[in-house]
Amino acid sequence: MKTELVSSPLSSPLSSLAVELLAVAVTDFQTEKGPDAKLQLALLNADAAVASAAAEVLASGEFKAGANETLVLHAPAGLAAKRLLLVGLGKAAKLSIHGLRSAAGTAVRAAKPRGLREVAFALPEHESLPAFAAARAVAEGALLADFDADTYRSDRKDQGVYSFKLAVPASVDFASAQAGFAEGEIVAEAQNFARVQVNEPGNVLTPTVLGQRAAQMAESVGLKWEVHSTEKLHELQMGAFWGVAKGSEEPPALIVLTYEPEGYDPATYTGPVLGLVGKGITFDSGGISIKPGDGMEKMKYDMAGSAAMLGAICAIGQLKPSVKVICVVCSTENMPDGRAYKPGDVLTAMPAGDKPGKTIEIINTDAEGRLVLADGLTYARSLGATHLINAATLTGAVGVALGKVNGGVFSNDDETFAKFQAALETSGESFWRLPLGDEYAYLIKSDIADIKNTGGRYGGASTAAEFLHVFAGDTPWIHLDIAGMAWIDESRPYIAKGPSGIAVRSVLEWVRSYQS
């Protein structure tokens, strides 16, 4: 999609934009209080011709301006646009940047099935929608909405929007809008990069291919990179990671991407080093503890945590925060080969400094993600990470607890978590903090080894988090369990069903919160 900003001062009003679809946001507001209260609709744009074209339908009550509600007016009088799309933002009292992101996506999704290739979106004029944040949200919403998951259909119809214009009214600071829009493009494209990887079938996106794509991305945005395989796992004594990997014909990939801020000198740098760690299981059969066949095809998305971290560092490389970042991805398949690890086995994780690696009793081979992350967290710490964040489609239990409404977040440090919670205000993503504690840690104590890889049926998200906590140690750490949020089962007005790219924006904003 080609994206651009256009200004609409009085000499070139919004009504003069000759596009196939012009989208304008509408909200409702209460005119009075009490029993006589009435709702009245308002266009969030001062263009007189647009107001005139929409006046009759707004007065009719046919359109309620509910969030992401749409109505198309054909050949609107007085406008150069062929169609006028009204997009609801909901109640004026609840206007938000995140609602605007969805509205922009709704406009693009409305255009696609109609075969419309040109969309212009009028940036709303409202004090609660500042120019930079509003323009960034519109760019994000539009680009995320243009993605569809039907990549491999031989009869795939081209429904892409070729041109998306953001019309900036004269009352809005154009320079701020321009900066916000440019940032939104970077963030959305990084999230779409993650979605593309998650969407790929397991026979295409093997661990080796994921490593190749990560390296190509790193080259394109100026990151340092290394991609290792079996020999490196043995050298580092990554017994937990290798225990999972050895059951597959596909070799594993240990992917390390590094971002260094401008002027970085290891001898003088005193800032934090942020470690991003992602679970990269490119296909999860469950191993010897094999999954039921129903729904197993979706287990290609078990690498969504790694995709989120790759997407985040892709944006980091372009937005250039003043903090060092290391991204570690542990990628393999989990398969039931004759060499596969088995229930009852004991694996030895990577040593941590001068301490021997933790021993792990295997209860269920379908609890493999925490094993690869164990070595990934230890390795990130060995590379100098002072703060850690990991993402993984780790447990079905988190979906039972939170549904497909929130991702789960765990942390061993309140200050670190507070930074993540503040990051959500910008990212617009939904996460809910879940508990850690000695009671959960007790459930993963093993009779034969240091710990076991599952803690029973109850509290599964928290016992899995406590397993990772062992390997994060005292390092300030956040664990994102995105199993319930990584895949959208049904299309929404503003985004297609399929991979969501969840956590890219939140991890990015958490990293930026550490800028000096």
| Other CB atoms within 10 Å distance of the CB of residue 436 | 18
What SS3 class is residue 341? coil
Identified catalytic residue from 112, 117, 195, 370: 370
- Residue 269 in 3-state DSSP? coil
Q: Which residue has the tokens 């709303």?
A: 124
| Separation CA 116–CA 113 (nearest Å) | 8
3-state secondary structure of 271: coil
The answer to whether 183 and 508 are in contact (CB under 8 A) is no
Tokens of 397: 């239990």
Cα–Cα distance for residue pair 444/361, rounded to 1 Å: 9
d(CA 268, CA 261): 13
DSSP 59-122: HHTS----TT-EEEEES-TT-SSSEEEEEEEEEGGG--HHHHHHHHHHHHHHHGGGT--EEEEE
Query: Catalytic residue at 370?
Result: yes
Q: Which of 291, 404, 492, 512 is catalytic?
A: 291
Residues 6+ apart with CB under 8 A from 281: 244, 299, 302, 303, 331, 332, 333, 334, 368, 369, 372
Buried b (16+ CB within 10 A) or exposed e, 457-496: eebbbbbbbbbbbbbbeebbbbbbbbbbbbbbeeeebbbb
Active site residue 291: yes
Point out the residues that are catalytic.
291, 370
